[in-house]
């Protein structure tokens, strides 16, 4: 009897009625990407621009100095600035941390 050759770990040999080995693949699982959320910074007429930039960098360490300045200026000029887009847990953490430091922040689903 011929030996079945397995090429992938997810495949298993199955004997057909004629005796030949037929490779059957395990069904692949399709993973939906988790929804992403936008962390928004709202314009702040109370705190200084320097404070806002410093706070953004403290709360969201992945922001560079230039990114933080850009977010601050976007919020200053348009009323709202996009801080970061991420999963719900870090989005909630960033939003609450910004609020705890006296800034106005909200989150909303990415469209």
How confident is the model over 14-57, as pLDDT tens digits? 555 666 666 677 677 778 888 999 999 999 889 999 999 999 99
Q: What's the sign of the alpha-carbon dihedral 102, 106, 107, 111?
A: negative
How confident is the model over 80-99, as pLDDT tens digits? 999 999 999 999 999 999 99
Q: Domains in the chain: how many in total?
A: 1
Residue 4 covered by a domain: no
pTM value surpassing 0.75 = no
Residue 53 covered by a domain: yes
Domain with 64 in it: 37-109
Residue 43 covered by a domain: yes
Distance CA 56, CA 52 (A): 6
Residue 31 covered by a domain: no
Radius of gyration in angstroms for the set of CA atoms belonging to the chain, rounded to a whole number: 26
User: Domain with 70 in it: what CATH number?
Assistant: 3.30.1390.10
Residue 19 covered by a domain: no
Structure tokens at 49: 């621009």
């Amino acid at each position: 009897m011929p030996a079945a050759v397995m090429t992938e770990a997810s495949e298993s040999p199955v004997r057909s009625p004629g005796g030949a080995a037929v490779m059957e693949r395990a069904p692949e699982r399709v993973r939906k990407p988790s929804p992403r959320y936008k962390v928004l910074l709202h314009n702040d007429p109370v705190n200084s621009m320097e404070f806002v930039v410093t706070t953004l960098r403290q709360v969201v360490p992945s922001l560079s100095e230039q990114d933080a300045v850009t977010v601050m200026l976007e919020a200053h000029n348009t009323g709202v600035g996009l801080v970061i887009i991420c999963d719900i847990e870090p989005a909630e953490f960033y939003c609450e941390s910004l609020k705890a430091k006296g800034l106005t922040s909200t989150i909303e689903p990415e469209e």
